């Protein structure tokens, strides 16, 4: 497991998170892995959820090497029964849930006129239905235990369409609406709900070649660099902490300024 920035110091930046329990979906690689790592460094107990049975054990081992208390759950989030499997394991091990991070998503994109009904069905199940059902189950636990926090991982594609964006962008637009609607419903239960929208982010999917293309993309980002997985993880940790106790129903774009632009200097191919 790699990190692109120095970890927080002893005790973490948000001491109130220490000892709490977090579920992170899509935790095996990329942004989800970094979120799980950051929450572990904050002293949280982490339930790492993913369908990648090859990568997930390595991530869990790395978290335990940091001293984290981790529960590993390998499930296919497109299947409804995964919800109960994850919560059964979580409640059996830790007895509660304080934070849910709905990060897992299918990232495929197709031209609208191309045949992609199978991808549409998969993304509706993985990117929309799964976060909806996971949040519903988490909220039931949190409401009995005095509150909690739900963070959904969205995308700049929910705000400004990719040139090749469907059906992915549509599902992320749904995530933003879900965050706002849940925040309104769950506020009286002391459950805060927010979304984080990454822009161009350097993950394991970042190509090793194509330096010229990467350079062109950087010129279209106001901060002129890609985001890191730790940039996204930092936003999640903040939103989960007491420092964000009056923030709910918001979408925080961690995008180097992409969504602030009306006319970037050329098409932005994320």
Contact between residue 237 and residue 17 where contact means Cβ atoms under 8 Å apart? yes
The more confident residue out of 219 and 147 is: 147
Where does the pLDDT of residue 11 fall: very low under 50, low under 70, confident under 90, or very high at 90 and above?
A: low
What mean pLDDT do residues 195-204 have?
A: 90
Q: Of 228, 132, 139, 114, whose CA–CA distance to 192 is shortest?
A: 139
Q: What is the CA radius of gyration of the chain?
A: 18
- d(CA 243, CA 236) in angstroms, rounded, equals 12
Where does the pLDDT of residue 114 fall: very low under 50, low under 70, confident under 90, or very high at 90 and above?
A: very high
- Eight-class DSSP state of 249: S
The more confident residue out of 10 and 119 is: 119
Question: The domain at 15-260 falls in which architecture?
Answer: 3-Layer(aba) Sandwich (3.40)
Where does the pLDDT of residue 12 fall: very low under 50, low under 70, confident under 90, or very high at 90 and above?
A: confident
The 10s digit of each residue's pLDDT in 70-88 is 999 999 999 999 999 999 9
What mean pLDDT do residues 94-112 have?
A: 96
Distance of CA 191 to the CA centre of its chain: 18
Please say if 168 is a catalytic residue. Answer: yes
Asked whether the predicted pLDDT for residue 211 surpasses 90, the reply is: no
The more confident residue out of 268 and 195 is: 195
> Coil, strand or helix: which one is 32?
helix
Asked whether the predicted pLDDT for residue 10 surpasses 90, the reply is: no
Q: Residue 149 corresponds to which tokens in the numbers above?
A: 């926090």
Asked whether the predicted pLDDT for residue 4 surpasses 60, the reply is: no
Which residue among the candidates 14, 132, 168, 253 is catalytic per the annotation?
A: 168
Asked whether the predicted pLDDT for residue 6 surpasses 70, the reply is: no
Cβ contacts of residue 250 below 8 Å, gap of 6+? 179, 183, 194, 195
| Distances from the Cα of 54 to the Cα of 50, 74, 248, angstroms | 10, 10, 36
The 10s digit of each residue's pLDDT in 220-235 is 899 999 999 999 999 9
Q: What pLDDT is recorded for position 269?
A: 45
Compute the mean pLDDT over every residue in the chain, rounded to the nearest whole number.
Answer: 92
Asked whether the predicted pLDDT for residue 257 surpasses 60, the reply is: yes
Where does the pLDDT of residue 270 fall: very low under 50, low under 70, confident under 90, or very high at 90 and above?
A: very low
Cβ contacts of residue 121 below 8 Å, gap of 6+? none
Q: What pLDDT is recorded for position 206?
A: 67
Give the CA dihedral 179, 109, 25, 241, nearest 10 degrees. -40
Where does the pLDDT of residue 2 fall: very low under 50, low under 70, confident under 90, or very high at 90 and above?
A: very low
- HEC string of 201-245? EECCCCCCCCHHHHHHHHCCCCCCCCEEHHHHHHHHHHHHCHHHC
Beta strands in the chain (DSSP E): 21-25, 45-50, 70-74, 99-102, 148-153, 191-198, 201-202, 227-228, 251-254
Asked whether the predicted pLDDT for residue 7 surpasses 60, the reply is: no
Number of helices (H), then strands (E), in the chain: 8, 9
The 10s digit of each residue's pLDDT in 168-180 is 999 999 999 999 9
Contact between residue 252 and residue 235 where contact means Cβ atoms under 8 Å apart? yes
The 10s digit of each residue's pLDDT in 128-163 is 999 999 999 999 999 999 999 999 999 999 998 888
Q: What are phi and psi of 200, to 5 degrees?
A: -65, 115
Q: Hey, which residues does 251 pair with through a beta bridge? A: 195
What mean pLDDT do residues 234-257 have?
A: 98
Asked whether the predicted pLDDT for residue 3 surpasses 60, the reply is: no
């Amino acid at each position: 497991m790699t990190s692109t920035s120095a970890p927080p110091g002893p005790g973490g930046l948000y001491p109130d998170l220490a000892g709490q329990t977090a579920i992170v979906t899509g935790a095996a690689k990329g942004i989800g892995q970094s979120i799980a790592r950051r929450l572990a460094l904050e002293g949280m107990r982490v339930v790492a959820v993913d369908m990648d049975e090859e990568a997930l054990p390595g991530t869990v081992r790395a978290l335990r090497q940091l001293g984290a208390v981790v529960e590993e759950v390998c499930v296919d989030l497109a299947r409804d029964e995964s919800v109960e499997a994850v919560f059964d394991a979580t409640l059996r091990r830790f007895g509660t849930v304080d934070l849910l991070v709905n990060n897992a998503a299918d990232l495929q994109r197709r031209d609208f006129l191309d045949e992609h009904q199978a991808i549409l069905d998969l993304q509706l199940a993985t990117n929309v239905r799964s976060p909806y059902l996971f949040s519903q189950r988490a909220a039931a636990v949190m409401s009995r235990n005095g509150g909690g926090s739900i963070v959904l991982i969205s995308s700049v594609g929910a705000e400004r369409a990719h040139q090749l964006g469907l059906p992915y962008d549509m599902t992320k637009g749904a995530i933003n609406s879900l965050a706002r609607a849940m925040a309104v419903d769950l506020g009286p239960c002391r459950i805060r709900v927010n979304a984080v929208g990454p822009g161009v982010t350097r993950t394991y999917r970042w190509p090793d070649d194509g330096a010229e293309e990467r350079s062109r993309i950087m010129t279209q980002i106001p901060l002129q660099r890609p985001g890191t997985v730790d940039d996204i993880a930092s936003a999640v940790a903040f939103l989960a902490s007491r420092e964000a106790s009056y923030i709910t129903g918001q979408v925080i774009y961690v995008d180097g300024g992409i969504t602030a632009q009306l006319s970037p200097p050329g098409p932005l191919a994320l």
